[in-house]
A = this chain, B = another copy of it.
Amino acid sequence: MRRISDNDLLNHYIVKHHIENIFDKDILKHAQLHFYEKEEYILEAGSNLEYYYLLVDGKIKVSYPFENGKSMLLKFYREFNSIGDLELLKNILILCDIDAIEDTYLIAISSEILRKEYLDNVKFLHHLIDSLSEKLYATINNGSYNFVYPLINRLSSYLVEHITDKNYIVLHSSYIEIAQFLGTTYRHLNRTLKELESKSIINWENKRIYIVDEDRLRELAKNLYMKSL
């Protein structure tokens, strides 16, 4: 993480995403701009929420870890979205793991300051309601996908979300981590990648995955994890 001290850029994002509709100017005095590079982790479940974040540029992935060490992909977020609503409001430890999957800019505001001074600010309350209801809606929808669709669909969706302008994807996590992220085992992930390969949808060479048939991949993906954004 790098803290970016470029006020012009900060203001650019504030204007671009109409953040003055959310926070009054005196709150925005506390706003910082944080930068995370691709593949950097942003938040870890179980730790304390130091900042309430607004995702203003880039892309992140959110997953929920279980007791047994497994986890479940919840969704991918692009700008504009907020991070930490629930933890801020209920004053609980962070629920989800969050990683940047592209270079990402976040506006960060101290959660302590927000809790102490701005939890009755009507603008902010309206924003929280919007954000919470959006997330609840998405979560109800999404939880169902993990339940209903087999791994080949979730994996396809995962790959689609990582497509760049190149014709291949470079995976930066270990396969074990990716499996956990998708809520399955390494063994089954491996099997399913092989299956995609045998169907000539991808070609697979170490950590580099060539997209052979993007159309069929997208068809399998059914836009699962981004659908409700």
Interface residues on A, range: 20 to 34
Complex contacts, A125 vs chain B, CB 8 Å: 122, 125-126, 129
Interface residue from B68, B140, B142 paired with A74 (Cβ < 8 Å): B140
The answer on a CB contact under 8 Å between A64 and B144 is yes
The answer on a CB contact under 8 Å between B72 and A133 is no
Q: Does A132 contact B (CB under 8 A)?
A: yes
Q: Does A86 contact B (CB under 8 A)?
A: yes
The answer on a CB contact under 8 Å between B68 and A148 is yes
Q: Does A180 contact B (CB under 8 A)?
A: no
The answer on a CB contact under 8 Å between B137 and A183 is no
The answer on a CB contact under 8 Å between B137 and A86 is yes
Complex contacts, A146 vs chain B, CB 8 Å: 143, 147
New A-B contacts (11) at CB < 8 Å, excluding given A142-B143, A143-B143: A70-B148, A90-B137, A129-B129, A129-B132, A132-B132, A132-B136, A135-B136, A139-B140, A143-B144, A143-B146, A147-B147
Sampled A-B contacts (17; CB under 8 Å)? A66-B148, A68-B148, A70-B148, A86-B133, A86-B136, A92-B137, A95-B140, A96-B140, A120-B122, A125-B126, A128-B129, A135-B136, A139-B140, A139-B143, A142-B143, A143-B147, A147-B183
Lowest 4 A-B CB distances belong to which pairs?
Answer: A143-B143, A132-B132, A136-B136, A89-B133
